[in-house]
Amino acid sequence: MINRHRVQALMRKDWRELARNKQVIAPLVILPLVFVILMPGAVLLLGSDPGLLTTMVAGLGGFLDNLPVRALPAGYSAEQLTVYAIIVYFMAPLFLLIPVMVASLTASSSFVGEKERGTIEGLLYTPLTDRELVLGKVLASVIPSVLLTWASFLVYTVLVNALGASLMGGVFFPTWTWVISVLALAPLVAFLATCLIVAISGRSTTMQGAQGTVVLIVLPVLALIVGQATGLVLFDAWIAGIAAAALLVIDVAVFLAVVGRFRREPIITRL
Range of the domain at 18: 4-269
Provide the pLDDT for residue 270: 54
Spatial contact of 56 and 38, defined as CB atoms under 8 Å apart: no
Q: How far apart are CA 181 and CA 241, in angstroms?
A: 8
Number of DSSP helices (H) and strands (E) in the chain, helices first: 17, 0
φ, ψ of residue 175 in degrees (nearest 5): -110, 170
What's the structural domain count of the chain? 1
Q: How far apart are CA 86 and CA 89, in angstroms?
A: 6
8-state DSSP, 126: S
Spatial contact of 7 and 134, defined as CB atoms under 8 Å apart: no
pLDDT < 50 positions in the chain: 271
Other C-beta atoms closer than 10 Å to the C-beta of 139 total 18
Q: How far apart are CA 89 and CA 165, in angstroms?
A: 18
Provide the pLDDT for residue 147: 92
Q: Alpha carbon of 127 to those of 2, 3, 124: distances in Å?
A: 12, 10, 8
Each residue's pLDDT tens digit, 124-150:
777 788 888 888 888 988 998 999 999
Provide the pLDDT for residue 125: 72
8-state DSSP, 71: G
Q: Alpha carbon of 110 to those of 141, 186, 194, 257: distances in Å?
A: 9, 20, 10, 18
The DSSP element (H or E) to which 194 belongs, if any, is: helix 186-201
How does DSSP assign 87-100, residue by residue?
IIIIHHHHHTHHHH
Q: How far apart are CA 242 and CA 223, in angstroms?
A: 16
8-state DSSP, 129: -
Q: What is the pTM of this model?
A: 0.84
Provide the pLDDT for residue 245: 93
